[in-house]
Amino acid sequence: MFNRKMLRLGEERSAIRELYEYGLARKKIVGEENVFDFSIGNPSAPPPACLTETLRRLIDEVPPELLHGYTSAPGAYDVREAVANYIRTQFGVPMSATLVYMTCGASASLMCTFQAILSEGEGEEVLVPAPFFPEYSVFVAQAGGVLVPVPTDARFHLDLAAIARAITPKTRVVLLNSPNNPTGAVYAKEELAALGQLLRKASAERRSPIFLVADEPYRELTYGEAPVYPMSVYENTVVCYSFSKSMTLAGERIGYVAVSPRCEGADELFSAVCGAGRALGFVCAPALFQKTVKHCLGAPAPVEVYRANRDLLYASLSDMGYTCSVPEGAFYLFMQALEPDARAFCERAKAFELLLVPSDSFGVGGYVRISYCVARSVIERSLPAFRALMESYRGARKN
Amino acid sequence: MFNRKMLRLGEERSAIRELYEYGLARKKIVGEENVFDFSIGNPSAPPPACLTETLRRLIDEVPPELLHGYTSAPGAYDVREAVANYIRTQFGVPMSATLVYMTCGASASLMCTFQAILSEGEGEEVLVPAPFFPEYSVFVAQAGGVLVPVPTDARFHLDLAAIARAITPKTRVVLLNSPNNPTGAVYAKEELAALGQLLRKASAERRSPIFLVADEPYRELTYGEAPVYPMSVYENTVVCYSFSKSMTLAGERIGYVAVSPRCEGADELFSAVCGAGRALGFVCAPALFQKTVKHCLGAPAPVEVYRANRDLLYASLSDMGYTCSVPEGAFYLFMQALEPDARAFCERAKAFELLLVPSDSFGVGGYVRISYCVARSVIERSLPAFRALMESYRGARKN
């Protein structure tokens, strides 16, 4: 009676959201402090002071009917100018306000971009290094495309040979997420430059561009040197950004799409993004937060809070005998499950009130994602549970 | 190279948005006070005091990382409970929090609902009384359906015989918008009850329900008695609501979908709405405004401001010799153009700095929509321009 795909998506929910809801329910039963919810990437560190100060100031100074009214569909022009200026000065690439489209967050950025580039019923392909954020499958399918996972190397960095092999005449997009959810990998300048070369060559051979879509909500959350800006290594690039993680406002739905002026057909692509925003029902990005982020561009992200969490969690879990990759950015730790079936491992972890996301929905088996954007005390209190979980496997092996 | 439909939607823009952008540019040239922009429904009356008070209080009292974090995908449960409670007590119909889905505004509400009900490639039909809000065509097409305009009577009220004739085996939805954009019509209890009867009978004959989707952002803006709640006259009803107009926060993107518990397959329909929100990239409705509207449900809308505007504009234009229907609600005045081609009339109006939207994109010819949700001074200053526009036609006739 209803749309079957939507019904299925609504009934399954994402594995992450499912676990998050389980956690909310479980906390009511055993107490908030006894559940170690590492399920969702809901930032816990206070946002930059600028955020709350700007919110207060705007509410005090701007008449509400102006503050909360519609902006132009692609965003208030002064906000788009500020974002373009930030991209130019921060990353040293050309950018124009006319190619910045303010969105309702990263998912909206991605949906508008996919819907703009992909045409339905053509089987157009979006390559993505695996593991990858599970909603990518949903968004690409909704936009009429096909998501094609490509393996990564042992450190979850790009396997260029695998990407080269995966390119077909149907490939329209390579989708990158660095810093990466779920692995914490941050792609190095050299590997991105090599990817740029590869895509440039492939595009020339096919005489039609392959677009690099960079999903960058974690850009400011890195623990080493600042990651390279993808537009500086490849011309046909679209950056999908969200302020959710850097400014701790994941619930406010504010981000942008920036189309590189060097992109083939940049103006047309931008128009198609606008058309997609219109067709999908976005109207405009939330007005108050458009105006707020304008004044907070470049405000320092709370990266030190997450670095301290990472250091504690990585060292503790490694000490206990777990095998983890060192997160270079974002706030996820990717850890090997203690049995081949990650789902079974996560089910067992639940008995210790540990909420971990199995890697299966990220496109690989045998791992779990641990979101460590939680209060430090949650990590500290969770350590005995991780130890007990490990013991439960050792005990099982002895038997 | 890009999605053609999206490119077309992005390049055309909506006639309303196009005119709004023209107005912004024109104001820079001839001065803000010399352009009479009646194009867009961007509310100008101050919001209820509760809105700004609640925003300030939440920002002061709730830690920002909690205030601005993700909510559950269908909305924070306490907010959904408050909305359900409001619907129950205000309108005397059953409603449950589990059937309330918080959205990023009315367009999002409609897109999630259409996407949930309609299946692609089936040619499923959505009947809508004409004239109608032009983006309905975009949303229904994007969701894979076909919008079927149905004529209204001379007062732009429902023509039940026309609706009965328009129902086919492919009809899935009747879409109502009362108070109406663009005509200001508010459907009476009797005509809605008769529509309920008609749909009940048609659904029984086909053995599958026709859904009534009520787009209700103007519910609180009426100048006569309170409009009947559609769920009280027909069981298979979904209400798509937005706080944009009643609380003057059109740019903040906050509203909801409420599925009647009496609806056939209500729980499945709700799941499909959730699935659609997920697939379209909405994630959750803006968190701060979810929490804010919770505390402002039922706050008095600034209807008296718009009533004064309506009275002045209707009386003045009628006096000048224009033919207008009396708006019963919303903040639009629907007026006959002075020549058969409404587009040509609106082009001529531009020479007098009057920005009026031709009715063609609303699905009927020969009229214009005048959005009077502007400062009273704009209406006052515009009257000589309306008079001059009328004179210009009289002069032409004399020649």
**Considering the domain boundaries, does residue B117 fall inside one?**
yes
Q: For residue B373, what is the nearest residue in chain A, using CA coordinates?
A: A65
Residue B61 has pLDDT above 60, yes or no: yes
Confidence of residue B245 (pLDDT cuts 50, 70, 90): very high
Task: Looking at the structure, tell me whether residues B119 and B184 fall in a common domain.
Answer: yes
CB contact under 8 Å between B65 and A248, yes or no, is yes
For residue A350, give the 3-state DSSP assignment.
helix
Our CA-based measurement puts residue A270 at a distance from the nearest CA of chain B, in whole angstroms, of 8
Confidence of residue B346 (pLDDT cuts 50, 70, 90): very high
CB contact under 8 Å between B70 and A250, yes or no, is yes
Render pLDDT for B2-51 as a digit per residue (tens, 0 to 9): 999 999 999 886 778 889 889 989 999 999 999 999 998 889 999 999 99
Residue where a domain stops, chosen among A279, A294, A309: A294
Domain, as residue range, for A244:
49-294
Angle between helices B49-61 and B287-294 (to 10 degrees): 120
CB contact under 8 Å between A69 and B248, yes or no, is yes
Burial class (CB in 10 A: 0-12, 13-18, 19+), A20: buried
How far apart are alpha carbons A185 and A211 in whole angstroms? 21
Task: Looking at the structure, tell me whether residues A110 and A205 fall in a common domain.
Answer: yes
Residues of B with Cβ-Cβ distance to A121 under 8 angstroms: none
CB contact under 8 Å between A13 and B253, yes or no, is no
Mean pLDDT taken over chain B: 95
Domain count, chain B: 2
Residue where a domain stops, chosen among B234, B266, B294: B294
Overall average pLDDT of the A293-310 stretch: 96
Which among A63, A108, A249 is the nearest to B68, CB-wise?
A249
Overall average pLDDT of the B71-81 stretch: 96
How far apart are alpha carbons B171 and A372 in whole angstroms? 49
Residue where a domain stops, chosen among B294, B322, B341: B294
Angle between helices A77-91 and A287-294 (to 10 degrees): 40
Task: Looking at the structure, tell me whether residues A179 and A288 fall in a common domain.
Answer: yes
**Can you tell me the ipTM of this complex?**
0.95
Among B253, B263, B270, B378, most A C-beta atoms within 10 A, so best to mutate, is B253
**Considering the domain boundaries, does residue B399 fall inside one?**
no
Which among B6, B117, B271 is the nearest to A116, CB-wise?
B6
Which among B9, B21, B105 is the nearest to A279, CB-wise?
B9
Residue the block writes with tokens 């993808």:
A230
Our CA-based measurement puts residue A398 at a distance from the nearest CA of chain B, in whole angstroms, of 42
How far apart are alpha carbons B112 and A152 in whole angstroms? 36
Task: Looking at the structure, tell me whether residues A86 and A14 fall in a common domain.
Answer: no
Angle between helices B135-142 and B106-117 (to 10 degrees): 40
Task: Looking at the structure, tell me whether residues A142 and A272 fall in a common domain.
Answer: yes
Residues of A with Cβ-Cβ distance to B46 under 8 angstroms: 63-65
Task: Looking at the structure, tell me whether residues A167 and A210 fall in a common domain.
Answer: yes
How far apart are alpha carbons A173 and A143 in whole angstroms? 13
What CATH number is given to the structural domain containing A35? 3.90.1150.10
Read off the pTM.
Answer: 0.96
CB contact under 8 Å between B13 and A73, yes or no, is yes
How far apart are alpha carbons B108 and B240 in whole angstroms? 9
Which H helix or E strand runs over B368?
strand B367-371
CB contact under 8 Å between A251 and B71, yes or no, is yes
Task: Looking at the structure, tell me whether residues B136 and B275 fall in a common domain.
Answer: yes
Q: Report the sign of the C-alpha dihedral through residues B88, B92, B94, B95, in that order.
A: negative
Task: Looking at the structure, tell me whether residues B275 and B320 fall in a common domain.
Answer: no
Chain A with chain B: Cβ pairs closer than 8 A: 281
Mean pLDDT taken over chain A: 96
What CATH number is given to the structural domain containing B151? 3.40.640.10
Overall average pLDDT of the A40-50 stretch: 91
Q: For residue A302, what is the nearest residue in chain B, using CA coordinates?
A: B65
Task: Looking at the structure, tell me whether residues B76 and B168 fall in a common domain.
Answer: yes
**Considering the domain boundaries, does residue B30 fall inside one?**
yes
Task: Looking at the structure, tell me whether residues B30 and B157 fall in a common domain.
Answer: no
Q: For residue A120, what is the nearest residue in chain B, using CA coordinates?
A: B3
Overall average pLDDT of the B307-324 stretch: 97
Task: Looking at the structure, tell me whether residues B27 and B82 fall in a common domain.
Answer: no
Task: Looking at the structure, tell me whether residues A279 and A336 fall in a common domain.
Answer: no
